[in-house]
């Protein structure tokens, strides 16, 4: 039976027929690889995800981690899954050979990781965070920090977290109050409370490496207001001795677990730093090590946050993807009712998939999840370009494109693949609303994604307030060129209807962007930023679908049904989804102030 986690046929299409993964083998960094090694990794991921991750997805949800006041209890299957993941070498799938890594392209790394996200998003969050943590330290940490912390992270002996939010400062990092005070030996002592820390406490690894944002007071003991005063620190749960062995318990203490609607298998914690439960080296305060330069912490942490935003997008896509496949399976096997034009009750009922409205819900899901996966893999491909493209220009272009696409890669799947889960429930009818099936859990799990790593509102401000105008609009210009290039190719494939529809609207978006930035009042420019984000997202996804249709058109025949499905999905997206954008652009062009003018006491 075909997997209900992910379609390997679709994955192969995206990797080999669209994104030309095989061409990466020409690059020095990936020269040890081949189509065979790529496929072997994907096979391995499918198998491990199916056997070790999917097996406890529901059990994790029904038996969420609990804290007895001393330690956190997690069902044993989580540890078993993570051990298997580590043993298979997947933590270091993308890392340098000299670090013990496979030197796999990011594209293949993400394609492989998709299986784990789809099988069990909560368990797969632990390695996702550890890998992001290690990558940040590899980029910004000292040689000693890499030796002491990164190597055990990559070996799966330590796990990592990112600690940004505080109870009084969720999205507003300017307002964090955690403080770090320098010690004579160059280390720091850190105090503060950090909220929403995924993987913040557990016994799944020997140690936990927290990357913590905090402020260092000036000589007068004052904190620099705003983000300019933020620095990044390593705070390990256990200190690490020079020989790599574990030392004393550091003063990082679990204050409580958050009990979530979904995503329950991942511990999510309120952590207290330096409140005095432990006194490492006989002194108060959590021992902390500065990463990179003082007051440059936010930029350093953004390495991890950007990676995490793509990671959130992939998680959202895969929750949608497995829900799609599960509802497709259900729709094919559940007989129910008859078509409107032939309701003869003496005839047997037809499978749900025969009903046009059910096909609508399946097609919608297909476009959201396959489109979402395509976007995320496109971004992963850009990471490879950024690292290994031949020319500086190509590398710089990749960075720019990645910058502008990141808020879309995070927000679009979070919105639309959640909607896919909504439709997956609807196809199941009453059964979908029960815990006997999986789709209700997927819907609950996926509802986290529009919130963490920056809410929709934050992504919208990032896109409209920053990304489209940075470097004099360089990223926007580049994205426009890419899209226009696609439109030309689409016309050569008889996709003229779609290329016209997208071309016209993309041009409108450029104009809308000018109108918004011409408002001469930042509050007006950004007032309806979330609408801009959504319109932009749908336009980008139309482009991604057109790209897929071109690739399907170019494919050698022999798998007609698959390519017809891609073409039909593209048609559906262009006819059913893209036109939504018109009303959004109209609203934006009018600089509508209905929301801005609303008064608190009118509610």
Rounded CA separation 432/422 (Å): 10
The residue among 8, 12, 15, 7 whose CA lies nearest residue 381 is 15
d(CA 589, CA 583): 10
CA 122 – CA 211 distance, rounded (Å): 20
Q: Which two tokens stand for residue 139?
A: 């980029």
Report the candidate in 122, 117, 129 with the shortest Cα–Cα distance to residue 413: 117
* DSSP code string of 367-408: HHHHHHHHHHHHHHHHHHHHHH-SSHHHHHHHHHHHHHHHHH
- What the block records as the tokens of 109 is 């790394």
Q: Which of residues 371-410 bind its own copies (CB under 8 A)?
A: none
Q: Does the footprint of its own copies cover residue 600 (CB under 8 A)?
A: yes
Closest distance to its own copies from the beta carbon of 178 (Å):
15
Q: Taking the complex as a whole, how short is the minimal distance between the CB of residue 359 and its own copies, in angstroms?
A: 5
What distances in angstroms separate CA 486 from CA 9, 11, 351, one per listed residue? 23, 21, 38
Report which secondary-structure segment, H or E, holds 111. Answer: helix 106-119
Nearest approach, Cβ of 443 to its own copies (angstroms)? 7
CB of residue 498 to its own copies, shortest distance in Å: 12
Q: Is 195 an interacting residue with respect to its own copies (CB under 8 A)?
A: yes
One of 59, 332, 466, 504 touching its own copies (CB under 8 A): 332
CB of 579 to its own copies, least distance (A): 4
Shortest distance, position 571 Cβ to its own copies, whole Å: 5
Give min distance, CB of 441 to its own copies, in A: 8
- Closest to its own copies by CB, 376 or 424: 424
Which residue in 154, 358, 417, 502 binds its own copies (CB under 8 A)?
358
Q: Tokens standing for 461?
A: 């401000």
Q: Which of 14, 34, 67, 1 is nearest to 378 (CA)?
A: 14
Nearest approach, Cβ of residue 603 and its own copies (Å): 5
- Rank residues 235 and 425 by Cβ distance to its own copies and give the closer one: 425
**Within 13 Å, how many C-alpha atoms sit on residue 358's CB side?**
23
Q: Does 2 bind its own copies (CB under 8 A)?
A: no
Instruction: For residue 169, state whether it binds its own copies (rule: CB under 8 A).
Output: yes
Please select the residue that binds its own copies; options are 362, 377, 476, 539, rule is CB under 8 A.
362
Closest residue by Cα to residue 270 from 335, 332, 375, 178: 178
State the number of binding residues for its own copies (CB under 8 A). 103
- We find the least distance from the C-beta atom of residue 328 to its own copies, in angstroms, to be 5
* Interatomic CA distance for residues 572 and 584, integer angstroms: 19
Q: What is the x/- site pattern for its own copies, positions 544-563, by CB under 8 A?
A: -----------------xx-
| Binder among 225, 276, 284, 500 for its own copies (CB under 8 A) | 225
Alpha helices in 462-525 (DSSP H): 470-492, 496-517, 522-525
Q: Which stretch in 104-112, 200-208, 426-434, 499-507 sits in contact with its own copies by CB under 8 A?
A: 426-434
* Per CB under 8 A, 22 contacts its own copies: no
- Give the span between the Cα atoms of 511 and 101, in whole angstroms: 46
| Window 485 to 544, contacts with its own copies (CB under 8 A) | 521-523, 525-530
Q: Alpha helix (H) ranges present in 66-105?
A: 76-87
Q: Compose the 123-162 pattern: x for residues touching its own copies by CB under 8 A, - for all others.
A: ----------------------------------------
Distance from C-alpha of 132 to C-alpha of 179, rounded to nearest angstrom? 24
With CA atoms as reference, report the closest residue to 182 among 217, 137, 209, 148. 217
d(CA 72, CA 62): 16
CB of 82 to its own copies, least distance (A): 24
Among 87-95, 241-249, 277-285, 592-600, the segment contacting its own copies (CB under 8 A)? 592-600
Among 29, 281, 359, 553, binds its own copies (CB under 8 A): 359
Q: Which of 36/344 has CB closer to its own copies?
A: 344
Q: How far is the CB of 390 from its own copies (least distance, A)?
A: 39
Q: Closest distance between its own copies and the C-beta of residue 301, in Å? A: 17
Residues in 429-488 that interact with its own copies by CB under 8 A:
429-430, 432-436, 440, 443-444, 447-448, 450-452, 455-457, 460-461, 465
Q: Which residues inside 281-310 make contact with its own copies, applying CB under 8 A?
A: none
Yes or no: say if 166 and 195 are a contact pair by the CB < 8 Å rule. Answer: yes
For residue 114, what are the contacts with CB-CB under 8 A and spacing of at least 6?
A: 6, 11, 45, 314, 317, 318, 321, 373, 376
**Contacting residue, 16, 88, 571, 591, with its own copies by CB under 8 A:** 571
Three-class DSSP category at 364 = helix
CA angle 550, 556, 561 (to 5 degrees): 80
58 near its own copies, rule: CB under 8 A: no
Measure the CA–CA gap between 70 and 53, rounded to whole angstroms: 27
Residue 89 binds its own copies, judged by CB under 8 A: no
Query: Cβ closer to its own copies: 140 or 319?
Result: 319
Nearer to its own copies, 226 or 284 (CB): 226
Of 145 and 528, CB closest to its own copies: 528
The structure tokens listed for 194 are: 């950090």
Site for its own copies in 249-278 (CB under 8 A): 258-262
């Amino acid at each position: 039976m075909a997997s209900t986690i992910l379609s390997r046929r679709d994955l192969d299409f995206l990797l080999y027929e669209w994104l030309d993964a095989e061409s990466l083998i020409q690059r020095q960094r990936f020269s040890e690889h081949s189509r065979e090694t790529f496929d072997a990794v994907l096979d391995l991921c499918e198998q491990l995800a199916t056997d070790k991750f999917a097996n406890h997805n529901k059990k994790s949800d029904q038996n969420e981690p609990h804290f007895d006041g001393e330690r956190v209890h997690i069902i044993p299957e989580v540890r078993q899954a993570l051990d298997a993941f580590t043993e298979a070498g997947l933590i270091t799938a993308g890392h340098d050979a000299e670090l013990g890594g496979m030197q796999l392209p990011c594209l293949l790394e993400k394609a492989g990781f998709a299986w784990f996200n789809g099988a069990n998003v909560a368990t797969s969050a632990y390695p996702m965070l550890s890998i992001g943590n290690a990558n940040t330290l590899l980029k910004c940490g000292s040689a000693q920090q890499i030796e002491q912390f990164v190597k055990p992270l990559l070996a799966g002996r330590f796990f990592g977290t990112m600690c940004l939010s505080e109870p009084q400062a969720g999205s507003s990092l300017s307002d964090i109050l955690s403080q770090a005070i320098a010690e004579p030996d160059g280390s720091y002592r850190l105090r503060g409370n950090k909220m929403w820390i995924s993987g913040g406490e557990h016994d799944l690894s020997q140690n936990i490496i927290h990357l913590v944002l905090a402020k260092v007071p000036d000589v007068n003991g004052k904190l620099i207001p705003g983000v300019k005063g933020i620095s990044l620190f390593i705070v390990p749960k256990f200190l690490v001795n020079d020989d790599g062995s574990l030392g004393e318990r550091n003063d990082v203490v679990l204050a409580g677990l958050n009990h979530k609607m979904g995503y329950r298998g991942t511990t999510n914690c309120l952590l207290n730093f330096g409140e005095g439960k432990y006194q490492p080296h006989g002194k108060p305060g959590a021992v902390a090590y500065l990463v990179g330069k003082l007051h440059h912490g936010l930029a350093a942490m953004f390495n991890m946050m950007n990676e995490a935003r793509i990671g959130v997008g992939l998680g959202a896509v895969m929750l949608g993807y497995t829900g799609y496949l599960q509802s497709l399976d259900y729709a094919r096997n559940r007989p129910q009712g008859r078509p409107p034009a032939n309701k003869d009750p003496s005839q047997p009922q037809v499978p749900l998939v025969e009903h046009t409205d059910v096909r609508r819900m399946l097609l919608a899901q297909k476009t959201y999840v396959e489109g979402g996966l395509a976007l995320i893999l496109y971004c992963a491909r850009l990471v490879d370009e950024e690292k290994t493209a031949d020319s500086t220009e190509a590398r710089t272009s990749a960075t720019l494109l990645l910058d502008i696409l990141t808020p879309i890669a995070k927000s679009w799947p979070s919105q639309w693949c959640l909607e896919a889960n909504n439709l997956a429930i609807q196809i199941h009818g009453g059964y979908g609303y029960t815990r006997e099936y999986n789709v209700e859990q997927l819907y609950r799990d996926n509802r986290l994604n529009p919130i963490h790593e920056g809410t929709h509102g934050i992504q919208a401000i990032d896109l409209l307030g920053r990304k489209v105008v940075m470097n004099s609009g360089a990223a926007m210009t580049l994205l426009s060129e890419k899209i226009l290039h696609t439109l030309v190719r689409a016309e050569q494939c008889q996709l003229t209807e779609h290329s016209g529809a997208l071309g016209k609207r993309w041009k409108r978006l450029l104009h809308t962007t000018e109108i918004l930035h011409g408002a001469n009042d930042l509050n007006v420019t950004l007032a309806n930023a979330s609408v801009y984000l959504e319109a932009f997202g749908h336009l980008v996804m139309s482009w991604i679908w057109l790209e897929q249709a071109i690739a399907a058109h170019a494919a050698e025949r022999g798998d007609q049904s698959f390519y017809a499905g891609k073409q039909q999905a593209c048609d559906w997206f262009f006819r059913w989804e893209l036109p939504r954008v018109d009303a959004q652009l109209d609203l934006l062009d009018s600089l509508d102030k209905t929301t801005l003018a609303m008064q608190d006491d009118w509610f």
